[in-house]
Structure 1
Amino acid sequence: MEPLFTPEQLAEIHAYHQPHYIRAAVDPLVHVALVVLLLAVLVRPVYRGATAAAAALERRFGFLRTAPVSRAFFTAMDRLWGESGWGAAIFFALFIDLATQVLYAPANVWFYYVLEHQYGMSNLTPLSFAWIWFKAIVVAALALTALVVGMYGLARRVRRWWLVLGVPVALLMLVAAALDPYRARLYFDQAPLEEGPLRSRITELMRKADIPFSDVLVEKTSVTSKRVQAYFAGQGPTRTIVLNDVIVKELSEDEVLAAVAHEAGHVNEARWPGRIASSLALVALLFLIDQVQRLSARRGWWGVQRTGDIRTLPLVSFLVFLLFNLAAPISGALSREREREADRYGLRLTGDREAFRRMLVKAARVNKMDPNPPRWLVLRGMSHPPMGERISALDVP
């Protein structure tokens, strides 16, 4: 049987992935070192700088507090925060985030622009790369601001804030997947798959699987990347089948059907137990954050004297980092098993073992997937089984 890669291709793939493996090993150590630096040295001076910046803006633009339109915003923010001072808290969080962005900027440019172009995986121009990066920074800043005002503002005013915040957010998480089709459009243009044999065969395949869907869309990711991709977005009435324009171009109809069949396997997964567990885990995490804030106030760390002090943010971030890294091996193992079952389901649905194998082989070649990545990386939390393992499993009757 034809090998997955020629020796030359395999050598190129190993050269492409080796820097990523080194970064995966080093990144946790860098993160820990950065947190230690923040907690031991930088929290106090950064907070002083944030307070000074907020005071300077207050002096310069304080008239906006009484202006007819803007005063409603300032009144609402004061109420959310419980008092004045939310500006310093937002600046503190943004200063720390900006410092982290600057620290990682050289590595991110090299990994996500230089290395991708070096191995022919990216279509980004310098301008489009900068624009995507800028959008990501803006979205992160807005999300961070909402976190600061929402979580810390509530913690300052309500004793059991973790329950008040956690329960509605957990309930929202249960149905948030319905919004996935709309979130994706923030990043790439989408258009309905044109009428023709492929659309008809996908519709027939979903009828056979008894999976209702609203549309088949082509996502124009080739403006940034040369990777193939297919996924289902949304649930119930918002469920859509999304193919990127690369997979439509690179794969035959039988191979695209195999990819869709694999993704259909995820539709039939028992999702509610996982969603309920995630919602409960969120409430538990917020409770732990509350305990960390209270401990910081009791000990007076960094001058903290009350729950909801923004100076605990680096410690809270480190707690989340630790918990996610501890949970990653378990969640990764569960995810890999779901992917194996989706492969088995897709193969049963299409009944075309050769097309399924060709789909995986082409995906591995186009996406330059390492067929056998380091075992430690897999066990640490890879979401998919190695491609070599997935293809070998197809050869077992």
Structure 2
Amino acid sequence: MEHVYLAVALAAIAGGFFLESMVRRATMHSLPAVPPKELDDSYAPGEFSRFIHYTRARLHFGNVQGVITSGAIFLFIALGGIGLADFWAASIATSLGFDGFNAASMSGDIVRGLIFLVILAVLSAALGLPFTLYDTFVLEERYGFNRTTWKTFLLDRIKGAILTALLGGPLIALVIAAFHLAGSWAWLAGWAVASAFSLLMLWLGPSLLLPLFNKFEPLEEGELRSDIEKYCSAQNVDVTGVFVMDGSRRSSRSNAFVTGLGSKKRIALFDTLMESLQTNEIVAVLAHEVGHYTLGHIPRTVALSLIRNAALFFLLGLALADPDLYASFGVTGMPVAAGLVCFGLVIAPLSYVLGVVDNALSRKHERQADAYAARTLGKALNIDAGASLAGALKKLTTDNLANPSPPRIAVVLHHSHPPLLERIRSLRSQAA
């Protein structure tokens, strides 16, 4: 059984690499020679050709990144990198006065685990940094999307590292402590700790964490806010949580999103969205986001996530009790943090499948939000709701050089939103 865990982890890495390569290959071969008829009037001269070149560049970049990162991770695990990193962590913990080599010591296991995860985080950041730099300052810059300065880039990384340490460190420590103190119910205690943390972040994140990275200004008075207030009033939705976010600090891409729970909910409209869309189109985008809120998509998704995570923590509890899990990766003893990482590697195929299910549910929610917007917007305001939302979606797709009709395999594996052409045809069908 010892070698089965390692074999499953390595097979998952290799399988994931080949599957992603197939997706990129299918996407490359599916690129059309001319714009779809629904978008004949949407691309400015030369823009469709720019979309083709951009998509091909991203696919080539993905191929190179996939070979290097998957190969590096495969070799790191196959050559005992997990066990070596854990040994270094135990040695450092011991030098700090903790019983790092005794996994039965809770304090020693916590310190050992935190150091172990820091080592892996540093290695992961070092592996990914060159690709992030190229993506941001070369590829996105070449096609006119990047507006991130070096200062903003560095500050984002520093803030992210500090938040990870301040929030992630205590969370990991509590999970490790739960597996030491709760006995046979350790999986339930660990799940309770992780779930409480997730709910707290979902509640406080929009008002405390997001403003650390972006500025959020309440939507100012004017025609747009008047139309939004009229629409939201008809839907019995509070509009105090509508903000304009300075997305243009980092990219010229446009977007909108809804996040948070209860009084902490926040509907954010990128400032770039405000620049590129007409008033009725912006209201249509907001109506879509209101649809997510009104239809209860966020709490429903959170509830399903909590249930799923309970099952995963139950499996985790079984795996952490098996000495072969640790031995297969060269880990001495049974430290909880190393067990978490090993379990994550072994269960990667299941995580992939769950990701496919999550994307399918998300696409269903997006279709429902589209239908909600088209159904309610026309009643509240004297505009063609379907045409306005379709027009907004077209501009968002063409401005962002997004693929309006990706291959089915790409949609199933990765897309949280239905393809543009599917959404447009659905809106037209509803209008008819």
Taking structure 1 as the reference length, what is the TM-score of the superposition? Answer: 0.84
Q: Structure 1 residues 291 and 339 mapped into 2: Cα distance closer, same or farther (>3 Å)?
A: same
Q: Give the distance between the partners of 1:132 and 1:378, measured in 2 at CA.
A: 30
Local SS of the residue matching 2:204 = helix
Q: Give the distance between the partners of 2:389 and 2:219, measured in 1 at CA.
A: 21
Conservation of the 8 A alpha-carbon contact between 2:254 and 2:400: yes
Aligned match of 2:41: 3
Q: Give the distance between the partners of 1:173 and 1:83, measured in 2 at CA.
A: 24
Does 1:336 pair with 2:363?
Answer: yes
Match 1:194 to one of 220, 224, 243: 220
Match 1:204 to one of 215, 230, 234: 230
Match 2:423 to one of 375, 390, 393: 390
Does 1:128 pair with 2:186?
Answer: no
Aligned match of 2:135: 111
Aligned match of 1:239: 265
Aligned match of 1:249: 275
- Unpaired runs of 5+ residues, structure 2, are 1-37, 99-103, 379-383
Match 1:51 to one of 90, 115, 130: 90
Q: 1:337 Cα deviation (Å)?
A: 1.6
* Comparing 12-21 and 205-214, the one that deviates more: 12-21
Q: Structure 1 residues 24 and 242 mapped into 2: Cα distance closer, same or farther (>3 Å)?
A: same
Q: Percent identity?
A: 24
Q: Give the distance between the partners of 1:36 and 1:284, measured in 2 at CA.
A: 30
Q: Structure 1 residues 315 and 102 mapped into 2: Cα distance closer, same or farther (>3 Å)?
A: same
Match 2:284 to one of 258, 262, 280: 258
Conservation of the 8 A alpha-carbon contact between 2:326 and 2:342: no
Aligned match of 1:87: 111
Aligned match of 2:317: 290
Q: Give the distance between the partners of 1:348 and 1:81, measured in 2 at CA.
A: 60
Q: Structure 1 residues 332 and 347 mapped into 2: Cα distance closer, same or farther (>3 Å)?
A: same
Q: Structure 1 residues 195 and 213 mapped into 2: Cα distance closer, same or farther (>3 Å)?
A: closer
Does 1:181 pair with 2:206?
Answer: yes
Match 2:398 to one of 347, 365, 373: 365
Does 1:276 pair with 2:303?
Answer: yes
- Unpaired runs of 5+ residues, structure 1, are 63-73, 75-79
Q: Give the distance between the partners of 1:151 and 1:119, measured in 2 at CA.
A: 44
Q: Structure 1 residues 154 and 19 mapped into 2: Cα distance closer, same or farther (>3 Å)?
A: farther
Conservation of the 8 A alpha-carbon contact between 1:121 and 1:227: yes
Q: Give the distance between the partners of 1:295 and 1:286, measured in 2 at CA.
A: 14
Q: Give the distance between the partners of 2:340 and 2:198, measured in 1 at CA.
A: 23
Q: Give the distance between the partners of 2:325 and 2:393, measured in 1 at CA.
A: 56
Counting matched residue pairs gives: 376
* Comparing 172-181 and 308-317, the one that deviates more: 172-181
Conservation of the 8 A alpha-carbon contact between 2:171 and 2:194: no
Conservation of the 8 A alpha-carbon contact between 2:87 and 2:331: no
Q: 1:218 Cα deviation (Å)?
A: 1.3
Local SS of the residue matching 1:84 = helix
Q: 1:153 Cα deviation (Å)?
A: 2.8
* Comparing 374-383 and 27-36, the one that deviates more: 27-36
Q: Aligned letter for 2:333? A: Q
Q: 1:32 Cα deviation (Å)?
A: 7.8
Q: 1:206 Cα deviation (Å)?
A: 0.4
Q: Aligned letter for 1:209? A: Q
Q: Give the distance between the partners of 1:85 and 1:178, measured in 2 at CA.
A: 31
Does 1:41 pair with 2:80?
Answer: yes
Taking structure 2 as the reference length, what is the TM-score of the superposition? Answer: 0.78
String of CA shifts for 1:155-196, please: whole Å, max 9, x gaps.
133212111131354366567543342132121011111111
Q: Structure 1 residues 235 and 50 mapped into 2: Cα distance closer, same or farther (>3 Å)?
A: closer
Name the Cα RMSD after superposition: 2.9
Local SS of the residue matching 1:225 = coil
